[in-house]
Amino acid sequence: MKALILAGGFATRLRPLSCSRPKTLFPLVNRPLLQWIFERLADGGVDEVILAVNALTQFYIRQQKPCKCGLKVRFSLDPPKNPLGTAGPIKKAEKLLGHDEPFIVLNGDIFADIDYKALIEAHKKANALATMALCSVEDPSCFGVVELCKDNYITRFIEKPPKGQVPSNFINAGAYVLDPGVFDFIPEGRAVSIEREIFPRLVVAKQLVGHCIDGLWMDIGKPAEYLEANRLLLSSFAHKIVNPKNVLAEIKSPVALEQGVVVGEKSILGPYAIIGKNVKIGCNVTISNSIVFSDAEIGDDVKLNGAVVGEGAYIGRHADIGDGCIIADQAKVKENVHMRDGATVCPAKEISENVL
Ligand code: GDD
Ligand code: MG
């Protein structure tokens, strides 16, 4: 079984963290999102994955080398300067995906605990070209929303409907099983939106069915959602997390520490502290509700609460950073700086004054 992962978007709402890494490589409890996705696909019986990306995302993935979980991984690149949208890359990968059997397509920017075997079974049972995983959310207006009839056929699909005009709370979870017959619906050589151009046509042809999923599903589109997704995953997988034993800090669970973390005396980590590989933390530091990417350095007496600190960033002594603030990769916050209210520092920039 093959799967195509759409991962060529620009994650603009996650800037400045996404200035230096694609969303699919954002760490979720210290593992890149892509690795969580690979793991679930491998469990679902997939053996080959095609990553539909742009050249920059390909570069970052090759550099970071996330664990492939036994999958054969290939790239299919959008043409430079002309991203192909969410259906164009499927058409472009037609030869790689082949015409022999159905394949999976999924958005590479969501965490979804999908049982792919069950999704494939549902597709085999239904008499349609496409089966869409659905989940139920409180506010569906920023997603693709469906109207379902009793036999699970989707009778309407509206991408991001205006508030008050949503047909149901069931949204497109961003994972599909498609028959090769869907290739005939996608025009070649241009950007095509699967949500705005292809699904509505499949609905008219009575070729789109829905399959409700009930596992954890999270969109990490905005910084607050990214923090929340980490928090939820940390709670859900707390029993599986083994923290290194030689860390002397006081630990308030749940906490996830990667290998090589060094912590000075009297520091308190947690609750909800996620610390990446080789992070150096000084003395008397408190870190709660925060994510620190690998190789960052945190000086003595620093307080982090509700912050994200990027890879290789440096936080000077006595700094106090809270409330959704983001320090991007390789950035530097000087001593005594206080930051609040979602303030951000761009990659490799330096800040020496308070941002309140
Ligand atoms: N290769 C490639 N080229 N990939 C792309 C392109 C492109 O031009 N544009 C977007 N993608 C990828 C993104 O990286 C992402 O993984 C996926 O396609 C979906 O695009 P988004 O831009 O993130 O769409 P969205 O979040 O607004 O909405 C989509 O996801 C929702 C679920 O999170 C839609 O599919 C909605 O219907 C759905 O509910
Ligand atoms: Mg998205």
Domain holding 176, by residue range, is 2-219
Cα(6) to ligand 2 centroid in Å equals 10
Residue 332 domain-assigned (yes or no): yes
Peptide bond into 200 cis (omega under 30): no
pLDDT tens sequence across 324-346: 999 999 999 999 999 999 999 99
**What pLDDT, on the 0 to 100 scale, is given for residue 222?**
85
**What pLDDT, on the 0 to 100 scale, is given for residue 112?**
93
CATH number at residue 92: 3.90.550.10
Cα(85) to ligand 1 centroid in Å equals 8
CATH number at residue 317: 2.160.10.10
Pocket test for ligand 1, best of 4, 5, 6 (most atoms within 8 A of CB): 6
What's the mean per-residue pLDDT of the chain? 94
Tell me, yes or no, whether 91 and 208 share the same domain.
yes
Beta strand 338-339 with 27-28: parallel, antiparallel or unpaired?
unpaired
Tell me, yes or no, whether 25 and 113 share the same domain.
yes
Tell me, yes or no, whether 49 and 169 share the same domain.
yes
Ligand with minimal distance to 86 CA: 1
Low-confidence ranges of the chain (pLDDT < 50): none
172 lines ligand 1 (CB under 6 A): yes
Q: Which residues pair with 2 in a beta bridge?
A: 48
Tell me, yes or no, whether 209 and 276 share the same domain.
no
Tell me, yes or no, whether 30 and 62 share the same domain.
yes
Tell me, yes or no, whether 115 and 181 share the same domain.
yes
Question: How many domains does the structure of the chain reveal?
Answer: 2
**What pLDDT, on the 0 to 100 scale, is given for residue 269?**
96
Cα(68) to ligand 2 centroid in Å equals 22
Residue 233 domain-assigned (yes or no): no
- Residue 72 neighbours by CB under 8 Å, 6+ apart: 47, 48, 49
**What pLDDT, on the 0 to 100 scale, is given for residue 14?**
86
Torsion of CA 219, 314, 58, 23, to 10 degrees: 10
**What pLDDT, on the 0 to 100 scale, is given for residue 54?**
94
170 lines ligand 1 (CB under 6 A): no
Residue 231 domain-assigned (yes or no): no
Ligand 1 atom, smallest distance to 83 CA: 8
174 lines ligand 1 (CB under 6 A): yes
- Residue 304 neighbours by CB under 8 Å, 6+ apart: 285, 286, 287, 288, 290, 292, 298, 315, 321, 322
Residue 225 domain-assigned (yes or no): no
Entry pTM:
0.93
87 lines ligand 1 (CB under 6 A): no
Tell me, yes or no, whether 143 and 262 share the same domain.
no
171 lines ligand 1 (CB under 6 A): yes
Give which of 160, 182, 154, 12 is closest to 89, Cα–Cα: 182
> In Å, what is the CA distance from 278 to each residue of 255, 258, 260, 262, 289?
16, 7, 4, 7, 19
**What pLDDT, on the 0 to 100 scale, is given for residue 130?**
98
**What pLDDT, on the 0 to 100 scale, is given for residue 220?**
86
140 lines ligand 1 (CB under 6 A): no
**What pLDDT, on the 0 to 100 scale, is given for residue 83?**
94
Give the residue whose CA is nearest to atom 5 of ligand 1.
Answer: 8
SS3 148: strand
Tell me, yes or no, whether 251 and 164 share the same domain.
no
Tell me, yes or no, whether 48 and 171 share the same domain.
yes
**What pLDDT, on the 0 to 100 scale, is given for residue 81?**
87
Pocket test for ligand 1, best of 109, 132, 192, 219 (most atoms within 8 A of CB): 109
DSSP element (H, E) containing 300: none
Tell me, yes or no, whether 194 and 66 share the same domain.
yes
Cα(73) to ligand 1 centroid in Å equals 20
Tell me, yes or no, whether 18 and 162 share the same domain.
yes
Cα(111) to ligand 1 centroid in Å equals 13
Ligand 1 atom, smallest distance to 173 CA: 32
22 lines ligand 1 (CB under 6 A): no
